[in-house]
A and B are shown apart, each in its own frame.
Chain A
Amino acid sequence: MLKYIIPLVLFIIMALFLGVGLTLNPSEIPSPFINKPAPNFSAPKLNAPQERLTPADLKGQVWLFNVWASWCVSCRSEHPVLNDLARLNAVTIIGLNYKDDPVDAKKWLDTLGNPYNISIMDQEGRIGIDYGVYGVPETFVIDKNGIIRYKQTGPVTVVDLQKTLIPLLDKLQAEPQ
């Protein structure tokens, strides 16, 4: 009897492990940034390159830091969702125009709409490295004290907006500074 039970138990254990493995997304890498201060930067604005933006300028407000590029295919599917979010006026949306040509980037915003309060340029991808960006689009939620509270890799969908982002933003807006 034992002869049959041992392989069966081993099989069940293995099947469980493999089953859990199947439901995980291997391209999702846990972010080491959660609950850490947003890395500093000073970057030129897309629409006014002579002006620069730093995270310190945004202190006291909850802001969304969305990494995007005109060459990024899934950014296109995300864009209308960001436009919707912008219409809600729930949060300051800052765009990080990642490794992009400013001309293409501006054209993109002109044709698809501009959900960003400000977009900054990171043509060399250095700010991207400081934020551990590896797959555009990525979205960070940063609280009033400049702490990263949430990160999403990949496009934000309407479901993400309703289930995760808006409740989180409401909570963060209610937090004292």
Chain B
Amino acid sequence: MKRLIFILILLSGSCYAVDSRQLSDSKQQESYETLTKELRCLVCQNQTIADSNAELASDLRRQVSEMLEQGKSKEEIVQFMTDRYGDFVLYKPAFKGKTLLLWIAPIVFLVIGLMAVLVVIRSKKAKEKLTSDAGALQRDTEKQKKIRSLLNNGEIS
């Protein structure tokens, strides 16, 4: 029983699903689904218009479906939205001068990180070599001492 209630609670989320639109043309429907997942709901900011229940999101979904029915291309619709709401409306911002930093920063940080790892490994290796060399040298001197003392002892005996 407890488990059933738990499952029902989990499922209840889907009761509040957004009023997504059905387009007659399956290709248009596909474009509709990808587009609404790429556009940001500006009121709730961290949701796409496909996910959001906000009124603005619903209006924008209507706009997208109407434009698709008018035979507008995806690019035209994206252009329509950025003309009005700016690049911020796109979850995947366009690659251009202003957004360059946004796109290349992760790669730059990755390279910096890799370089740091390399440097650390190298310096550690060099240090190890140094200590092992020093250890060997020490062992050598100890050996020589022993040899010498043995020799000395031998002389005595």
Contact = CB atoms under 8 A, between A and B. Distances in A.
B99 to A, nearest CB: 13
Q: How many A residues touch the partner, as a band?
A: 10 to 19
B65 to A, nearest CB: 13
A26 interface: yes
B84 A131 contact: yes
28 contacts: A27-B45, A29-B85, A29-B86, A29-B88, A30-B86, A31-B86, A32-B82, A32-B83, A32-B84, A32-B86, A33-B84, A99-B55, A125-B55, A125-B56, A125-B59, A126-B59, A128-B59, A129-B59, A129-B63, A129-B84, A130-B84, A131-B84, A132-B84, A132-B85, A132-B86, A134-B42, A134-B85, A135-B43
Interface of B: 42-43, 45, 55-56, 59-60, 63, 82-86, 88
A137 B82 CA distance: 21
B153 to A, nearest CB: 49
A30 B84 CA distance: 10
Nearest to A130: B84
B40 to A, nearest CB: 10
Contacts of B56: 125, 134
Contacts of B82: 32
A32 B56 CA distance: 18
Q: A interface, by DSSP: helix, strand, loop or mixed?
A: loop
Contacts of A125: 55-56, 59
Interface string A93-134: 000000100000000000000000000000011101111101
B84 A26 contact: no
Nearest to B84: A132
Interface centre among A26, A30, A125, A130 (most CB of B within 10 A): A125
Interface string A45-61: 00000000000000000
A30 B98 CA distance: 13
Contact of A129 (B43, B45, B60): B60
A126 B55 CA distance: 12
A26 B86 CA distance: 14
Contacts of A26: 45
A29 B55 contact: no
Nearest to B41: A134
Contacts of B42: 29, 134-135
Contacts of B84: 32-33, 129-132
Contacts of B85: 29, 32, 132, 134
A135 B85 CA distance: 12
Interface centre among A29, A31, A135 (most CB of B within 10 A): A29
